[in-house]
Amino acid sequence: MSTGKILPRRLIGQTGIEVSCLGLGTVKFGRNTGVKYPQGFELPDDSDVQQILRLAHELGINLIDTAPAYGSSEERLGRLLEQRHDWVICTKVGEEFEQGNSSYDFSAAHVRASVERSLQRLHTDYLDLVLVHSDGKDMDIINNSDCFAELQRFRERGLIRAFGMSTKTAAGGIAALEHSDLVMVTYNPAEVAEKSVLDRAFQLNKGVLIKKALNSGHSIGAPAAEQNAAGMDPVQRSMEFIFSHPAVSAVIIGTINPLHIVHNVNAAAQASSPVS
């Protein structure tokens, strides 16, 4: 299975970390409850996960996104991810998902315990990117917790390479850029409320990862209508829209379907060009 395209790589702001412009999200590796996808799914077995990881690597993807809140995703990656140094691993702190419910803790003690646990689960001695997994109260987290200060200490110790925040508001994204290396924001043709975050990131030369690029799969629900309206399939349309902004470092797409991975890679490769 081949894409025939070269997947460009981009720098994450000033970190020196170079990532493929498309990253593989792994929530579907470890969690299928309390998610917002339009259709239910069964968790893949270990063989399927290995196949997906190998395919992603063959297609030029080096960025992988996980989180403690993604069920067993971290543990499975720790067991199944081959050649750790070929990958840029992004994980998160702040959100826990247990017995079907999320809970949040942004204290330094919890951040410390979460990072140490992720290092163990992922069978690695360093994490490339660590993001604060916001509960939506972005400004309160930034102003009234010491999570960034604790992540800064981990970076100084060499246990993480860069840190930032997965935000849910434009104000929070802009504020997070002032205190960290990167942000993860929602941005797609149907959701542009956080464009100001991208604009500010470009001014500051900070990294931007895009989540919900395909609106959690809802953007591909009516492809015929989208094709008629835009002259291209909805995945290509979203990629063209997102990569038209110069601040974007990478788009995170979560899928366990090999055909979708190939399609996404081709769309990203066509929409993106190297800027590092």
Helices marked H in 217-257:
223-230, 234-243
Angstrom distance (rounded) from CA 164 to CA 210:
13
The whole-angstrom distance between residue 161's C-alpha and the CA centroid of its chain comes to 16
* Of 70, 104, 126, 187, catalytic: 70
For 241, what's the count of Cα atoms within 13 Å in the CB-facing half-sphere? 19
Angstrom distance (rounded) from CA 147 to CA 134:
11
Angstrom distance (rounded) from CA 178 to CA 174:
7
Q: Give yes or no for a contact between 27 and 72, defined as CB atoms under 8 angstroms apart.
A: no
Tokens at 107, concatenated: 């204290």
Angstrom distance (rounded) from CA 77 to CA 56:
13
Q: Give yes or no for a contact between 245 and 198, defined as CB atoms under 8 angstroms apart.
A: yes
Which residues, 6 or more positions from 186, have their beta carbon under 8 angstroms from its beta carbon? 168, 193, 194, 210, 211, 212
Buried b / exposed e across 40-62, counting CB within 10 Å, b at 16+? eeebbeeeebbebbebbbebbbb
70: annotated active-site residue: yes
* Residue 124, phi then psi, degrees to nearest 5: -140, 155
What stretch of H or E contains 172?
helix 170-179
Catalytic residues: 70
